[in-house]
Amino acid sequence: MRLINRIPSRPVAVALAALPFAAVLIAYALGSEIRLAANPQDKLLPAPATILDTAIRLFTQGDRRTGEILLWQDTWASLRRLALGVGIGAAISLSFGMLIGMLPHARRGLSGFVAVLSMVPPLALLPVLFIVFGLGETSKVVLIVIGITPFLIRELSQRVLDIPHEEIVKAQTLGASSGTIALNVVLPQILPRLISAVRLSLGSAWLFLIAAEAVASEVGLGYRIFLVRRYLAMDIILTYVIWITLLAFLIDWALKYLSRRAFPWMEAGL
Amino acid sequence: MSFVTVRDVWQRYGDRSIIERVNLDVAEGEFVSIVGASGCGKSTFLRLLLADERPTRGEIRIDGGEPAREPGRERGVVFQRYSVFRHMTVRDNIVAAESFARFPGRFFGPALRAARARADDTLARIGLAHVAGQYPATLSGGMQQRLAIGQALTARPRVLLLDEPFGALDTGTRLAMHDFLTELRAETNMTVFMVTHDLEEGFKLGDRVLVFDKVRWDPHSPEAFGATITYDFDARDGGIPFQRQLERYPGLAAQAG
């Protein structure tokens, strides 16, 4: 039988999915074991048990001075910035994407500009943002907005153009105005595309968030990682990295679930 | 009495002539089939009738009105594909035919309930009542086209334009759709233009069959000249509209004899 026709059975599929995770864990545990055997004070690869202890401490024990749990504070601060940045970016790109996709005049006027804008490396603008907006929350949120919006606009305007011309003509023959078509034909068909585009852009959104927090901040997941780096606190850094990964995964899964529940027609044909 | 008037219509894209010198008068209630080889401009002519494109020269009027600059409620259309809104249920597709005419394009409260009840009547008439709550993608090709025709007719257009509406259907479904369309026509007496590549279908359904072809041909630049109407058949009564006059009006026989 050809390799391309071999399909794993259910238990084999589960085992295959778990395999890379297990391999990485084992490799790390072995490496840590070897280094700690040579030098019990080694900080580079703390034992998995140490990381687990640290994680439990970070999640449950408050700061000795203030009694507040720093990890949760960092999480809320970061998630708030991320939600604001992605939300504002999505709102801007939805309106501009629909304008560019629907109106030939807007398309002529804006699509070239957006194409050039999306080539500006957002991180290079970070100093400008700090100068203009100060070191507070605004500059971090604006960095995320600037980072993801050009991509989202290009993606969404293209998806608007992908709507079959027949459907737009049909709506016109039913007497629909431009506004009615935007509201009843384009918007409902583009919303699931917005969600999937946002899912794609979340990776870069996290990147910009952590970069902005690393440079100047007082609280936040990225800030904490770069703070404890000075003490070589690998156990804390790894806990934070795993926590960020888990958060990103959960957000992605939630968006996918939302898209499925809210737009059943997307999968009606399958 | 000319209901749809086409006067000296030309259409060219850049140097490419698609159709040229098209003149046509169609009476209200006529069913016009348009046939021709691929790329002969029959779909372009339908888009001109639809006002999705404006002709390079000439004009098209419906009932003596101003030539249209964009598609509107006067002209209903059914395409081969994508003729219904895939994000709306079957019932809401019919409701859209009423609600789209006024911003914001939606009914609320009692108006919505009334429109949905009317839509259910329409769906019962076109045999789609059992799938009213489903999305079009779950329907077969024939059911989707029936929905598209029902939706177009709900808006009460003055002219119905069909662009190869049954082109993607299998033979059995296609025959059923012919009966469906013939019935609807008997009810509404709508003026219909149908583009098809199936000659038999054209003659079976049409009162007239127009053939598009190129009359001028430059072998060195095949795109220099466009197609025009080369034949205009009277297709009533299976293509022999006058041969059976005596059977229909026996009184004439006495006079002739």
Mean pLDDT value across residues B16-23:
91
Q: pLDDT tens across B140-177, in order?
A: 988 999 999 999 999 989 999 999 999 888 888 889 88
Model pLDDT, residue B93: 95
Residue B232: give its domain's CATH number. 3.40.50.300
User: For B106, which residue in chain A has the nearest alpha carbon?
Assistant: A184
Six-digit token string for A132: 């203009």
B157 in contact with A at a CB cutoff of 8 Å?
yes
Task: Name the A residues in 123-152 with CB < 8 Å from any B CB.
Answer: none
Rounded CA-CA distance B8/B57 in Å is: 7
Instruction: Find the CB nearest B105 among A164, A167, A180.
Output: A180
User: For A269, which residue in chain B has the nearest alpha carbon?
Assistant: B137
Q: pLDDT tens across B68-93, in order?
A: 999 999 999 999 888 899 999 999 99
Mean pLDDT value across residues A175-192:
94
Q: How many CB atoms lie within 10 A of CB B212?
A: 25
**Does B196 fall in a domain?**
yes
Q: How many CB atoms lie within 10 A of CB A216?
A: 14
**Does B30 fall in a domain?**
yes
Same domain, A8 and A125: no
Model pLDDT, residue B127: 87
Chain A contact set for B105 (CB, 8 A): 176, 179-181, 183-184
B106 in contact with A at a CB cutoff of 8 Å?
yes
Looking up tokens 């864990």, which residue turns up?
A25
DSSP string covering B163-178: ESTTTTS-HHHHHHHH
Instruction: Check: CB of residue B167 under 8 Å from CB of residue B38.
Output: no
Q: A121 to each of A27, A116, A140, A148, B4, how far by Cα in Å?
A: 36, 11, 15, 11, 58
Instruction: Find the CB nearest B137 among A171, A181, A268.
Output: A268
Rounded CA-CA distance B197/B212 in Å is: 11
A-B contacts at Cβ under 8 angstroms: 95
Same domain, A144 and A209: yes
Same domain, A122 and A223: yes
Instruction: Check: CB of residue A143 under 8 Å from CB of residue A165.
Output: no
Q: How many CA atoms lie within 13 A of A207 on its CB side?
A: 11
DSSP H helices in chain B = 42-50, 90-99, 109-125, 141-154, 171-188, 199-205, 245-248, 250-256
Same domain, A224 and A130: yes
Same domain, A118 and A218: yes
**Does A213 fall in a domain?**
yes
Model pLDDT, residue A65: 82
Model pLDDT, residue B256: 57
B156 in contact with A at a CB cutoff of 8 Å?
no
Same domain, A133 and A1: no
Model pLDDT, residue A97: 95
Residue B233, pLDDT above cutoff 90: no
**Does A65 fall in a domain?**
no
Residue A172 sits in which domain range? Answer: 70-263
In angstroms and rounded to an integer, the radius of gyration of the C-alpha atoms of chain B is 20
Answer yes or no: do A169 and B50 touch at CB < 8 A. yes
Q: pLDDT tens across A230-254, in order?
A: 988 899 999 999 999 999 999 999 9
Model confidence band, residue B248 (pLDDT cutoffs 50, 70, 90): confident
Per DSSP, what are the bridge partners of residue B232? B210
**Does A60 fall in a domain?**
no
Residue A269, pLDDT above cutoff 60: no
The ipTM value here is: 0.89
Can you list the positions of beta strands (E) in B14-69? Answer: 16-26, 31-36, 57-62
Q: Which helix (H) or strand (E) holds B191?
A: strand B191-195
Mean pLDDT value across residues B42-70:
92
Chain B contact set for A164 (CB, 8 A): 81-82
Rounded CA-CA distance A118/B174 in Å is: 50
Number of domains chain A contains? 2
Q: Do the bridges between strand B57-62 and strand B31-36 make them parallel or antiparallel, or are there none, so unpaired?
A: unpaired
Portion of chain A with pLDDT greater than 70, in percent: 99
Least Cα distance to B38 among B222, B235, B171, B227 occurs for B227
**Does B20 fall in a domain?**
yes
Answer yes or no: do A184 and B104 touch at CB < 8 A. yes
B119 in contact with A at a CB cutoff of 8 Å?
no
